[in-house]
Amino acid sequence: AQSVSQHNHHVILSEAASLELGCNYSYGGTVNLFWYVQYPGQHLQLLLKYFSGDPLVKGIKGFEAEFIKSKFSFNLRKPSVQWSDTAEYFCAVARYGNNRLAFGKGNQVVVIP
């Protein structure tokens, strides 16, 4: 079974700081990659996704992620965070042609004003 790894479960940073969250997966075949965000008290929402093409993907709210196939990674970045980015962020992977998602354990991000 494929697994998805997210490190640094708790991240605390100040507004305007840059954020990078790592995501690594174990499956060796073609994959579809996702980052979801869960704001306090809300449901999971899609931030961005990668299926094919340009490995640098831009999502909502200034987030971007880069797929590096050789490293089995799909790291999420935001150059300058805001207090409203306080949330839990989940990386998810699906095998190509399969819509079953495997999630990482998530990163709890707290942005201090």
Partner 1 sequence: GAVVSQHPSWVICKSGTSVKIECRSLDFQATTMFWYRQFPKQSLMLMATSNEGSKATYEQGVEKDKFLINHASLTLSTLTVTSAHPEDSSFYICSASPTSGSDYEQYFGPGTRLTVT
Q: First-to-last CA distance in the chain?
A: 40
| Interface pattern 29-58 for partner 1 (x via CB under 8 A) | ---x---x-----xxxxx--x-x-------
Taking the C-alpha atoms of residue 58 and residue 61, their distance in angstroms, rounded to an integer, is 9
# of chain residues touching partner 1 (CB under 8 A): 22
| Minimum CB–partner distance for residue 101 and partner 1 (Å) | 6
For partner 1, the closer of residues 45 and 84 by Cβ is 45
11 binds partner 1 per the rule CB under 8 A = no
Taking the C-alpha atoms of residue 46 and residue 101, their distance in angstroms, rounded to an integer, is 13
The separation between CA 38 and the C-alpha centre of its own chain, rounded to angstroms, equals 11
3-state secondary structure of 70: helix
Q: Which residues bind partner 1 (CB under 8 A)?
A: 1, 4, 9, 32, 36, 42-46, 49, 51, 90, 94, 99-106
